[in-house]
Amino acid sequence: MTADNAALAPVLAQAKVNLSLHITGRRDDGYHLLDSLVAFADMGDHLTLTPGDALSIEVTGPFASGVPNDARNLVWQAAEGAGWTGHIKLAKNLPHGAGIGGGSSDAAAVLNVLSAQGIEAPEGLALSLGADVPVCVRGRATRMRGIGEDLSEVELPQLHALLVNPGVHVPTGAVFAGLTCRNNAPMPDKLPTFKGPADCAAWLSEQRNDLELPAIQTAPVVDRVLSDLRATADALMARMSGSGATCFALYPTKKAAHMAAYDLGTEQAEWWCYAATLS
């Protein structure tokens, strides 16, 4: 292997968590408007890019099953849109279609790797790939508004979380179709300054995920996940992320989050449980 086609350094595609998700309207073209506080976990999928003459994808990992390895994959579309060719090895550690930005974060990771190599994607490519891709390109705590294009950085304390997915795919279209109101109140114009995890969790408890109820109606197990998370020791609050089915709870310490992961993982061995730090 020559230097020209040596593999680039592996990159982490972080899991995205919607700490809040307010649906504030819908445009004439059908796109929903939102106001969401987003944070990113210290875990996720892994990608390795190796330059070459043709584009190809190899998918491995515990959640590789069902992930396309062709032009249907956002990773492919990101690379192609940026004009790059080569082999992409994608290790899927995150459940897909789970409301934690797996595909969007993977695509964002490709764009970030290529940007670091001096290959800049055309303006607007990230948003054209999906509403979550621009915020995943940032990869840090952000307030996301509009259809995903209005991004502003926010300061959050380090948050200790337990992410849980019950292994049920919740169709995004069905969740949005189940909304009874699409013109809900946004978050306050000015977000508070948080002193620590408990302070942040208390404020988040006053916010919402407007997709939670229609997701529960589509997949009732989501309600069971939320109930079990709230029952774990030291849980500060619990909520669904994105359009589901992954839910999360926040804890005062990393140890508390890991203890909750052990306890809930023992009780629900078929669920995906992962303690993570969000920032």
CA distance 99 to 110: 20
> Per CATH, which fold does 3-153 belong to?
Ribosomal Protein S5; domain 2 (3.30.230)
* Tally of residues, the chain: 279
CA distance 148 to 275: 27
**In Å, what is the CA distance from 211 to each residue of 34, 55, 175, 182, 273?**
11, 36, 6, 10, 21
Tell me whether domains 3-153 and 159-278 share a fold.
Answer: no
DSSP-assigned letters across all residues of 225-276 = HHHHHHTSTT--EEEE-TTSS-EEEEESSHHHHHHHHHHHHHH-TTSEEEEE
**pLDDT tens per residue across span 173-204:** 999 999 999 999 999 999 999 999 999 999 99
Average pLDDT over residues 40-68: 97
Q: Is the pLDDT of residue 2 over 50?
A: no
Average pLDDT over residues 33-61: 98
Mean pLDDT of the chain: 96
Q: CB neighbours of 181 closer than 8 A, spacing ≥ 6? A: 23, 210
The token pair that represents 92 in the structure block = 């899927």
Contact 245, 163 (CB under 8 A): no
Where do we find the tokens 């006053």?
Answer: 206
pLDDT of residue 255: 98
Where do we find the tokens 């995150």?
Answer: 94
Domain boundaries, the chain: 3-153, 159-278
**pLDDT tens per residue across span 110-150:** 999 999 999 999 999 999 999 999 999 999 999 999 999 99
- Give the residue numbers annotated as catalytic, written as ranges: 16, 132
Nearest to residue 258, comparing CAs of 273, 269, 246, 240? 273
Burial of 253 (C-beta count, 10 Å sphere; 0-12/13-18/19+): exposed
Q: Is the pLDDT of residue 9 over 90?
A: no
For residue 146, list its beta bridge partners: 34
Contact 263, 182 (CB under 8 A): no
Contact 14, 100 (CB under 8 A): no
The token pair that represents 69 in the structure block = 């390895």
CA distance 6 to 20: 41
Contact 82, 111 (CB under 8 A): yes
* pTM, entire model: 0.96
**In Å, what is the CA distance from 241 to each residue of 5, 22, 158?**
38, 11, 18
Element at 165 (helix H, strand E): strand 159-165
CA distance 174 to 227: 22
Average pLDDT over residues 21-31: 96
> In terms of CATH architecture, what is 159-278?
2-Layer Sandwich (3.30)
